[in-house]
Structure 1
Amino acid sequence: MLVELAIGDAYGGSFEHAYPSFVAEHNKLTGYVPHHGQPGAPAGRYTDDTQMTIAIAEVLVSGRRWTPLLLAEQFVRAYHRDPHDGYAPRFHQLLSEVRDGEELLRRLQPQSDKSGAAMRAGPIGLLPTVDDVLYHAKLQARITHDTPAGIAAAQAAALAVHYCHHRVGPLSELARWIDGILPEDVGHGGWALPWSGKVGPQGWMSVRAALTTLASCRSLSGMLHATVALTGDVDTVATIALAAASRSPEVAQDLPPVLWRDLENGEFGRDYLAALDERLLHI
């Protein structure tokens, strides 16, 4: 799961908020392309979506009881040991300045409804019960996105993984299943409402776009192409969609080998993600 979502993040990151003409020309799945807005940035490098997901996964496999301080410590640690781009500017600056989780919690103003809590929630879906998923997704969301919409988006992203991993039902029913669990009063009209067009910054937008793609595609390659073709915050959509789809028996696991090969593979790159994946699947 972690390698697949990182591939979605790294590939989608090059197209985040790019002009539609750039997306149409380069979204071919033949390899990573340089980021449209960052000339010289290395292709195949994942963003904050994956880095914060790693932090969540590491806390999960540690077996420790979750607290806001523990999670905040892990967010700070993950960033400082291996700084990555992609964070919102103010949060990026804050992470750069703080030295521990206590300082992060003290200085944060967590009233955001954007996608940061949803993009990192995938591994939480591996937990055994819906109540476990809802509780842990909410706890981690409240650190940075303590709003009804921010929390609901994180819970929905985690529930998508739970549904696929535990084979709750067919993918065609996933969004309706989530609608039956989460309230519809966060301004999006229901998780099963199909998404079309450019994806904006709010978390519910990325999640609903991912759920729409999950309902309509039956291969990881098709899903990655379709999420990027939407334009907008596509790295987050791809991260959420591929995290869930990688655990579904209905989806062909056919990401192009070049995207596996060229995903960054430093200390916390592809091989580290694969090893962490093995541990995650036995929690």
Structure 2
Amino acid sequence: MLLELAIGDAYGAGFEYADEMIPENTLTHYVQHPRHQIRPGCYTDDTQMSLAIAETLVSEEPWTTLAVANRFVTAFKRDPREGYAHKFYDFLLQIEDGPDFLAKINVRSDKSGAAMRAAPIGVLATPEAVMEATTLQAAITHNTPDGINAACAAALMAHYFIYNLGSKLNLGEFIETYIPGYQWSQPWEGPVKTTGWICVKAALTAIARNHSLSGLLQDCIAFTGDVDTVAAIALAAASCSPEITQDLPQTLIDTLENQTYGKDYIIELDQKLMSLKATQHPS
């Protein structure tokens, strides 16, 4: 899950709000964004914050707002990187620790930040447990109905596939039973804005109409707009689906960044995260 999330994020980073780059959407290599300084093959905040969520889960420490906030701060401070919204990046530079984060953060966003990092929570045993844990982490930064609901939907996508709860064509209807009001089963069309529920709906749309991770990744990018987030959400969930061929190009795997918290670290953490399934499986 985490490896595919990172690849979707890193690949999509070259195309985010850069329609002129769409002809380069060939999956043959990571591309340089025409205006951002993120190097090809490097992941962004989508992955870094997902790693923080996964690290909290595998640590088995109490799932509290302070524990999660501490992980957010630690993940950034040990490995500062571009990709965060400018104001949030500056905020992270200035704060010292989890308590400082919680005291100073503006929590009223409805954008995609809480959804982009929610997939690891899908490993929890039941939809109810997933929604409870996701709501807590989302409210730290996105304490709005749309921000929380988008995050819960993204986490439930992963949960649905991890526990093989049905066909991918029924995924939208499954989410509608827990989070009504968004018509998750109806396709998204057009460019993707930074609003969380739009990113999730685009990811659902791409999953429904693709049968391979490679096709899925290209389709996520083709939406245009906030495509790195769409790709991160979609690939994290779809990597757990038995209906989707796991065929990401080897070149994208090989050239994903591999510094201290790069590919090898992500693979190791991924294994620890997915091992929780055995202990979390519903009776």
Q: By the TM > 0.5 criterion, same fold?
A: yes
How many residue pairs end up in the alignment? 276
Per-residue displacement from partner, 1:173-212 (whole Å, max 9, x unpaired)? 000110011121xxxx411121011000100000000000
RMSD: 0.8
Residue equivalent to 1:248:
241
Residue equivalent to 2:34:
36
* Distance across 2 between alignment mates of 1:145 and 1:42: 28
Measured after TM superposition, the shift of residue 38 of structure 1 is 2.3
Residue equivalent to 2:12:
12
Q: 2:71 aligns with which of 63, 67, 74?
A: 74
Amino acid at match of 2:125: P
* Distance across 1 between alignment mates of 2:65 and 2:238: 29
* Distance across 2 between alignment mates of 1:151 and 1:181: 13
* Distance across 2 between alignment mates of 1:270 and 1:38: 22
Residue equivalent to 2:279:
none
Measured after TM superposition, the shift of residue 88 of structure 1 is 1.2
Local SS of the residue matching 1:44: coil
Residue equivalent to 2:252:
259
Q: 2:88 aligns with which of 91, 99, 116?
A: 91
* 2:108 is the alignment partner of 1:111: yes
Local SS of the residue matching 2:125: coil
Residue equivalent to 1:149:
146
Amino acid at match of 2:184: W
* Distance across 1 between alignment mates of 2:245 and 2:35: 32
Measured after TM superposition, the shift of residue 109 of structure 1 is 1.1
Q: Which runs of 5+ in 2 are unaligned?
A: 277-283
Q: 2:193 aligns with which of 200, 204, 220?
A: 200
* Distance across 1 between alignment mates of 2:166 and 2:85: 36
Measured after TM superposition, the shift of residue 244 of structure 1 is 0.5
Residue equivalent to 1:218:
211
Amino acid at match of 2:200: V
* Distance across 1 between alignment mates of 2:144 and 2:157: 20
* 2:55 is the alignment partner of 1:62: no
* Distance across 1 between alignment mates of 2:204 and 2:65: 28
Q: Which runs of 5+ in 1 are unaligned?
A: none
Residue equivalent to 2:274:
281
